[in-house]
């Protein structure tokens, strides 16, 4: 499952950030922000009508992500965020 598919208020654990191409700057930045394997993540809120942006929390930090950015982050159920 990807982070963009995570239900509202659900918690999960990050498995990996997928690179879409060589030297993927967006994937690299997501990792720098803390989206790394084993980190707990939670879907806090979604934009109007379930759209963008997605508000997600990693640790004590919240990020607003585009759906396309969240789709790069593979997660598994079972987080405690």
Tell me the CATH number at 55: 2.30.30.90
Residues of the chain with pLDDT below 50 are: none
The pTM (predicted TM-score) of the whole model is: 0.89
- What confidence score (pLDDT) does residue 6 get? 94
Structure tokens at 2: 């990807």
Q: Which domain holds residue 68?
A: 3-77
- What confidence score (pLDDT) does residue 51 get? 83
**CB distance 22 to 28 below 8 Å:** no
- What confidence score (pLDDT) does residue 49 get? 81
Q: Tell me how many domains the chain contains.
A: 1
- What confidence score (pLDDT) does residue 80 get? 65
């Amino acid at each position: 499952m990807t982070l963009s598919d995570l239900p509202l208020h659900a918690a999960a654990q990050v498995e990996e950030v997928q690179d879409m191409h060589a030297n993927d700057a967006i994937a690299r930045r997501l990792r720098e922000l803390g989206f790394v394997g084993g980190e707990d993540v939670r879907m806090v809120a979604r934009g109007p009508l379930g759209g963008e942006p997605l508000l997600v929390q990693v640790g004590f930090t919240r990020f607003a992500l585009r759906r396309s950015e969240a789709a790069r982050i593979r997660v598994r159920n079972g987080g405690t965020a």
